[in-house]
Amino acid sequence: MDDKTTASSRQTADVSSFGLATAAAAVRNGDITSEAYTAALLQRARALAELNAFITIDEAEVLAAARAADKLRAAGSAAPLLGMPLGVKDSYLTKGLPTSLGIEGLAHFVPREDADAVRAIKKAGALIFGKNNLVEMSYGLTGHNARYGQVKNPHARDHMSGGSSSGSAASVAAGLVPASLGGDTVGSIRVPASFCGVVGFKPTTGRWPRNGVAPISHTLDTTGVFARSVEDCILVDHVVTGEQAAESSDGDYGLKGARLAFAPRQFLDLVDPEVESRFRAVVRQLQDAGAEVVEMDLGRDFNSLVQTATWGIFAHETMGAISEFLRRHAIPTAFEAIYESLKPQLRQAWEHIVLPGGAGATSAEAYQMALNVSRPEIQRRLNTAFVAHGAWVILQPTTPCTAPSIGEQATVHIAGQDVSYLALANHTVSASSVGLPGISLPVGLSRAGLPIGLELDGPLGSDQRLLNLARGIEGILGAKSGST
């Protein structure tokens, strides 16, 4: 083997384990070319195609973009994401690259514009590696798509990835890309992040641009990101928002002075024993590191208040939000055509809760009550943690169980009970209900080798402090994700 071949082999060796910041620095410093890095990831994506993490990858186009990035680097560019191949959930419009929204009827639809968040990462030098698989119209939590296949969990192929940003989470966990854009309405970033063992960040609702991303609910939707470390989430947050990145702790992970809260009645009521045990062990580690942890109670009716209000808003806004999105972006289909094309169980759900007159549809009066009475009350309760107790964040297990088997779709088994799959979002829905920023960190594996997630929710607009705190906790726990 000659020196050139040896150098090339060394360049591509194990690059799938690189985090985003590490890979970006390697390209910027000339340690590896974007083309070599991208080619290695494409090879890995082919080898792991059975995960169904991507719907579309245009290999020739992404390699051409990588070569162009290398030329820009040679000409002196130091863009923060220069030459970085990122995944994008297939609910985001991508100029020149098919955008299916997860449905058959749009399999060949090619937008003429980029979603605002896609435009932001491209401006920072990123390449679109491919479009990630997702639940149809982002309506589900298991990662099942009737047309494009079930996204499989990289840690155990017979277990679900979570959803709806299923392929985004799986592709980061499997080392196919260092980061991917996703979307979250009631937990569609944080649930799959927890199941797949990666970091999933949902910003304060409205802080990241949502234009050009297929919606469910204008009240609840937000865009966000999956990565293998909090540092990488901070980098993408800086790029997308233009805000100065949160200050680095430079390896000082002390939590002295940090005040954290958790609510056992609300977030440990229906939780697998192994998940609860790991959560309590993490809380003890944070206390040992100097954090003050306060137990609190958000009220006997808190969970029912959150569930009723949030799911009601979610379903009531769907038809109008999708119809307006299709019209505004000249997408060649109609709401009615999408409805008719849905897999049977999802079409039945839409008939029940989304279509006007459905047996479970939210009335106009109940919708206004949810917006104007329930949401302020939920915020008031949460403020007891943030204001009255002075908590920086509220902690909880991100999901009440580890990733269920793929066979469990409509019903899942949690803490000895068979419950609706909607229970997978029991913990994530509260932050979504009032737009709080939230982040899920991987905090270890179950005895079966499945990831367990820790969620931190902060006050509205506290995204940078949340990210900085999460980075410190990650350092203490040694919780950075690795590829599988």
**89 an active-site residue?**
yes
Pairwise CA distance, residues 113 & 99, whole Å: 11
How many whole angstroms separate alpha carbon 367 and alpha carbon 385?
A: 27
Contacts of residue 54, defined as CB under 8 A and 6 or more positions apart, other chains included, come to 45, 87, 130, 131, 132, 133, 167, 171, 176
- Determine which one of 16, 91, 161, 188 is catalytic: 188
Which listed residue (89, 131, 202, 480) is catalytic? 89
The SS3 of residue 3 is: helix
The answer to whether 240 touches 118, Cβ cutoff 8 Å, is: no
| Angle CA 274–182–28, to nearest 5 | 105
Residue 219 near residue 371, CB atoms below 8 Å:
yes
**What is d(CA 448, CA 379) in angstroms, rounded to the nearest whole number?**
37
Task: Report the C-alpha gap between 315 and 352 in whole angstroms.
Answer: 10
**93 contacts: CB under 8 Å, gap ≥ 6:** 99, 111, 113, 114, 115, 118, 212, 213, 329
The two tokens of residue 308 are: 């009723």
Active-site annotation holder among 91, 100, 138, 164: 164
The verdict on whether 248 is a catalytic residue reads no
Cα–Cα distances in angstroms (integers) from residue 442 to residues 136, 226, 246, 478, in the given order: 26, 12, 21, 9
Q: Which residues are catalytic?
A: 89, 164, 188
